[in-house]
Structure 1
């Protein structure tokens, strides 16, 4: 005979079993920072033993909080973003929140659709390397709290990985090796990170008397980097700084297909240090702190949700050059 279904435990039952007030159980799930860690741990243990889980719909109706936040990235397959996503999810989970992940596929129209659909279900947004127009981001902020990662927009809370110092160091490194004509393989024109890296390459090259040639990648991807190999050689460069490690990895594959060895025949530098130690040869690259960016962004969003308004704060994370095995002196006659 089938057993009758067990009744779902209520918040009142958890409170009685834990010997605390109903409001304490509610705070343990919705705002644990208001309680001592010991109280939160005790309530959670009792709730787990009874099989209690908060009713998110009811909580949203009573508190205006959904217990969810949204994280939108332009390309979930890009190795830069998984560490950011994992760090963001870990910090959100510690706060009792669920993360809805969206991939805009580098398409601002798709990003706007995603944010529009998610806005009715989340307490706030983290937009990483957003491709939205400024006015679209501000309109979204009018509906929900927003924190930006690698997008600099006055008045909004944002986390900026400052790749300019590491990029400038990359140019100095190539100049010291003897390179006098280098390429910058760019990322999406609307990308804040691309603008910072491009600007740093051009400024430092001009300061050091190095010629810098811009080469566009069709997309910030392995295929985009591979397709750029012919262009960097046609431009008579002896080294290239790529928008990110994925583009750099594609570039090395494209050069290999053309019979050019790295670093003996051509030097390559990536950015973000997400693939550097696992390429062959190991990739010289510019550090990134994507995991720190994910954690800090969630912390800023939590503070904004609690306060009800953005502070306009900026958290800057610095970068540096990591020299490995893909840079060397240029071949004779190509310096």
Structure 2
């Protein structure tokens, strides 16, 4: 018979795996809950890895960062935030790309050499992640998984701001151009877009999925051109938005006169293209800092800060920390032209 896992204890005790981890590792949990969890763990013969975690952190001084497509603009500011907190805590960061080889080999190598991991892989399957990472020393970024700590951007707020901006400019028929259909983030954005356009009474459509890359944005242009009277578009990320912008211009369409575009990320690319992109700032640097703060606090068994920039600690590690997003208006959005031809944009 296999040894019980932290998820087995959580199911038996009627709590999350994260609560079990806090209860058994010295975190702040109600006394009654802690006693119940300890009793369940003892009856099941569960052995916590807490005794070795603290030693591992002090011995290796290393935390792992696992990403998919490390060349994506999205990761630049995210890594800044991760690095700033890790450096301040005296920890060394080890970074590896899951797209750069066999994922299992990459993950095993990373786990063997680091005390804990920040995983930035929103397209990976939930079961795949559960089988390979422990909730005791893993933090997910841009993905929520029951029982695990996570740091995510508030995509619902960001999407609401984007759609409201288009509505305020007078757009009445808008679209969301989506990224990968395997992406947790893309699913959240689709849901938020659908709710937001309904709230503002707009006609809408979801186009995609497309590869979340510059080429994916170029390919999305065909789908956009086929839609009638479409004047406003929100795109999964700035990289796709840049590709779509370029392709629309090549086909003789003016942005924002013929069609307004809104990207997401506030990457350096959003400021480099012309016109500059209106974009949703997901505040990657703050997101990365929050994720690293949570991981180090987990490993050192201290409560995490509710706001990494505030310097004020909460009474426990939050299972899901959500960072607010901000819409930045630039040159790619404007009121729709009044003399558009009937038909395609």
TM-score norm. by structure 1 comes to 0.75
Cα distance change on mapping 1:165 and 1:142 into 2, 3 Å: closer
Q: Residue 92 of structure 1 contacts residue 99 of structure 1 at CA under 8 Å; is this kept in 2?
A: yes
Q: For 1:144 and 1:136, locate their aligned partners in 2 and report how far apart those are by CA, in whole Å.
A: 17
- Structure number, greater radius of gyration: 1
1:66 corresponds, among 56, 60, 63, to 60
Q: Residue 185 of structure 1 contacts residue 241 of structure 1 at CA under 8 Å; is this kept in 2?
A: yes
SS at match of 2:85: helix
Q: For 1:133 and 1:217, locate their aligned partners in 2 and report how far apart those are by CA, in whole Å.
A: 17
Q: How far has the Cα of 1:129 moved from its partner?
A: 3.6
Q: For 2:164 and 2:264, locate their aligned partners in 1 and report how far apart those are by CA, in whole Å.
A: 15
SS at match of 1:226: helix
Q: CA RMSD in A?
A: 2.4
Q: Residue 220 of structure 1 contacts residue 246 of structure 1 at CA under 8 Å; is this kept in 2?
A: yes
Aligned to 2:188: 196
Q: Residue 111 of structure 1 contacts residue 131 of structure 1 at CA under 8 Å; is this kept in 2?
A: no
Aligned to 1:314: 320
Cα distance change on mapping 1:253 and 1:217 into 2, 3 Å: farther
Cα distance change on mapping 1:137 and 1:307 into 2, 3 Å: farther
Q: Which runs of 5+ in 2 are unaligned?
A: 1-51, 304-315
Aligned to 1:210: 202
Q: For 1:122 and 1:286, locate their aligned partners in 2 and report how far apart those are by CA, in whole Å.
A: 33
2:77 corresponds, among 83, 97, 106, to 83
Q: For 2:95 and 2:260, locate their aligned partners in 1 and report how far apart those are by CA, in whole Å.
A: 36
Q: Residue 267 of structure 1 contacts residue 327 of structure 1 at CA under 8 Å; is this kept in 2?
A: yes
1:298 corresponds, among 286, 292, 308, to 292
Aligned to 2:276: 282
Where does 1:1-335 land on structure 2 (aligned, <5 Å)?
Answer: 63-64=55-56, 65-105=59-99, 110-142=102-134, 145-236=137-228, 237-274=230-267, 275-307=269-301, 311=317, 313-331=319-337, 332-333=339-340
Cα distance change on mapping 1:266 and 1:143 into 2, 3 Å: closer
Q: How far has the Cα of 1:282 moved from its partner?
A: 1.3
Q: For 1:141 and 1:175, locate their aligned partners in 2 and report how far apart those are by CA, in whole Å.
A: 43
Q: For 1:264 and 1:99, locate their aligned partners in 2 and report how far apart those are by CA, in whole Å.
A: 46
Q: For 1:130 and 1:234, locate their aligned partners in 2 and report how far apart those are by CA, in whole Å.
A: 30
SS at match of 2:64: strand
Q: Residue 145 of structure 1 contacts residue 308 of structure 1 at CA under 8 Å; is this kept in 2?
A: no
SS at match of 1:96: coil
Task: Tell me the alpha carbon deviations over residues 252-275 of structure 1, each in whole angstroms, 9 at most, x when there is no partner.
Answer: 001011111111111100011113
Q: For 1:261 and 1:104, locate their aligned partners in 2 and report how far apart those are by CA, in whole Å.
A: 38
Q: For 1:280 and 1:212, locate their aligned partners in 2 and report how far apart those are by CA, in whole Å.
A: 26
Q: How far has the Cα of 1:303 moved from its partner?
A: 1.1
Q: For 2:132 and 2:290, locate their aligned partners in 1 and report how far apart those are by CA, in whole Å.
A: 20
Q: For 2:187 and 2:245, locate their aligned partners in 1 and report how far apart those are by CA, in whole Å.
A: 23
SS at match of 1:228: helix
Q: How far has the Cα of 1:276 moved from its partner?
A: 2.4
Q: For 1:307 and 1:140, locate their aligned partners in 2 and report how far apart those are by CA, in whole Å.
A: 22
